[in-house]
Amino acid sequence: MYSLSEENYLKAIYHLEQLHKKEVSTNALAEKMDTKASSVTDMLKKMAEKNLVNYKKYQGVQLSSLGKETAINIVRKHRLWEVFLVEKLNFSWDEVHEVAEQLEHIQSKKLTAELDKFLGFPKRDPHGDPIPDAQGKITLAKKKLLFDLVPSEEGVCVGVKDSTKEFLQYLDKHAISLGVKIEIIEKEAFDQSMLVKIEGTIKRITSSISKNLYISY
Amino acid sequence: MYSLSEENYLKAIYHLEQLHKKEVSTNALAEKMDTKASSVTDMLKKMAEKNLVNYKKYQGVQLSSLGKETAINIVRKHRLWEVFLVEKLNFSWDEVHEVAEQLEHIQSKKLTAELDKFLGFPKRDPHGDPIPDAQGKITLAKKKLLFDLVPSEEGVCVGVKDSTKEFLQYLDKHAISLGVKIEIIEKEAFDQSMLVKIEGTIKRITSSISKNLYISY
DNA sequence: AAAATAATTTAGACTAGACTAAAAACAATA
DNA sequence: TATTGTTTTTAGTCTAGTCTAAATTATTTT
């Protein structure tokens, strides 16, 4: 249907739109796609021609409704495959991304539907991000940064903000993973580090960590 | 590593080599790839440059050892995915091919290895074709038409060539299905019908049937 | 063995998607 | 408002992979 490149542009535009809540600039997109601004301009013209985006010179770009629908479907596939890799094939959550980047482009309605069913219609991927349903509907996740919780609150780790390999490996080392229960014991005023109880053990968490961990409760 | 096109050429050459047991002609390859002979010539030159094939003008092409290894790995992935689709995702054996054609190009050693494990190290795909192991070794024989077996040979029904409703219903009626054991008792010279033992009972099978049933042994 | 036919390769051109370098538009500041 | 700096677009080029048409080599027939 659409080329690999087109799909990657759609996905990138989608994510940037979500992040900044407005039109996406050519430069921002070029950076995200790891390409040059001039290439982006070329591509946007072609995609506008195909009604995937709304683009006017010098005015940034937005997904059209067709483009958004397509992008969400790619995101849906990406996240379903991530669940598959972690739950069925023993991948750890920091290994799944690059494989899912490939799998998300597989074209088969039936495959996606059956995979969803096989996995038990999961609501979140291994990073805690919500999985759109077959109609593209995203039931918005109520998650907060650990940083924003106050003493005596508790919740379950559902995702990460920073998903670099380094961060994910750090979490692994400290036995922090999806689903673990975290309770705030106290918060230091001066450096904003927290004393938390994680699965029974008490640990100190710096703000650089707590600002990157999503908790739902 | 290699482009989608290169992988598809490798696979096509591999299958044609298996079929005819000699170098593959430019035209045969063009037909298989649904492209023009001139395009094939261009591609073969590039692939020879990369040491994937042995090619000399006007002399046809053969896979190099590197090319063969790569091709077999693609075939391995294709067949593993077919098993996955049929056994886990409720695909029927005639629906899997085009999806597997996409999935076979996913690059991840770990994915392939874990998928293999997840499926219990299957030896054959849903069409009865053998699945190469991680080292590229193919241990099992390929499937044959029932028609080509000789008395005292036996095997297991692994597929059909003709998949019309009529034929499948005929098979149903005679309790012939995937997985049943079939042994050849004798073969009539004049009409080439066969006397076979199927799951204990002896039956006569006409050549129009035996020419459409695949057996592995 | 020459002629006819078939198979293959070459030459030149096209498209998608990228690039560099330069020009144009927009934004910010004096 | 004029100037400077940043962002975006244009113009022209490149590569992978394809194509058509023409030329070349192989094969078959006479």
The CA–C1' separation of B102 and C18, in angstroms, is: 24
Residue B165 in this model has a pLDDT that exceeds 90: no
Q: Determine the average pLDDT of the residues in A149-155.
A: 84
Q: What CATH number is attached to the domain comprising B202?
A: 2.30.30.90
pLDDT of residue B180: 87
Domain boundary among B63, B82, B114: B63
Considering chain A, what percentage of its residues have pLDDT values greater than 90? Answer: 62
Of B85, B102, B115, the CB nearest to A107: B102
Residue B178: pLDDT band (50, 70, 90) is confident
The CA–C1' separation of A8 and C8, in angstroms, is: 39
Q: How many Cβ contacts (< 8 angstroms) between chains A and B?
A: 43
CA–C1' nearest nucleotide, residue B7? D17
The CA–C1' separation of A37 and D11, in angstroms, is: 15
Domain boundary among A44, A63, A82: A63
Q: Which two tokens stand for residue A65?
A: 């409704």
Alpha helices in B142-191 (DSSP H): 165-173
Residue A191 in this model has a pLDDT that exceeds 80: yes
- Starting from the edge strand earliest in sequence, which strands make up the sheet with A181-187, in order? A144-145, A213-216, A154-160, A181-187, A194-198, A201-205
On whether residue B198 sits in a domain, the answer given is yes
Residue whose pair of structure tokens reads 């629908």 in the numeric block = A69
Which chain B residue is nearest to residue A113, measuring alpha carbons?
Answer: B89
What total number of domains does chain A contain?
Answer: 2
On whether residue B195 sits in a domain, the answer given is yes
Quote the domain boundaries for residue A151.
144-216
pLDDT of residue A66: 98
On whether residue A114 sits in a domain, the answer given is no
Residue whose pair of structure tokens reads 């009539």 in the numeric block = B188
CA–C1' nearest nucleotide, residue A41? D9
The CA–C1' separation of B137 and C27, in angstroms, is: 64
On whether residue B153 sits in a domain, the answer given is yes
Domain boundary among B63, B79, B102: B63
Q: Which of B94, B111, B115 has the most A C-beta neighbours within 10 Å, making it the best mutation to test the interface with A?
A: B111
On whether residue B77 sits in a domain, the answer given is no
| pTM for this entry | 0.85
Q: What CATH number is attached to the domain comprising B9?
A: 1.10.10.10
pLDDT of residue A50: 97
**Nearest protein residue by Cα to C1' of nucleotide D11:** A38
Which chain B residue is nearest to residue A114, measuring alpha carbons?
Answer: B89
Q: Give the residue from B161, B163, B169, B173 showing the smallest Cα distance to B211.
A: B161
Residue A80 in this model has a pLDDT that exceeds 80: yes
Q: B206-212: long-range contacts (C-beta < 8 A, 24 or more apart)? A: B207/B147, B209/B146, B209/B170, B210/B145, B210/B146, B210/B147, B211/B145, B211/B146, B211/B147, B211/B161, B212/B145, B212/B160, B212/B161, B212/B162, B212/B167
Cβ(B79)–Cβ(B85) under 8 Å? no
Of A102, A110, A118, the CB nearest to B88: A118
For residue range A111-120, list pLDDT tens digits in order: 999 999 999 9
Residue B87 in this model has a pLDDT that exceeds 90: yes
On whether residue A167 sits in a domain, the answer given is yes
Residue B4 in this model has a pLDDT that exceeds 70: yes
pLDDT of residue A141: 61
Whether the beta carbon of B39 falls within 7 A of nucleic chain D: the reply is yes
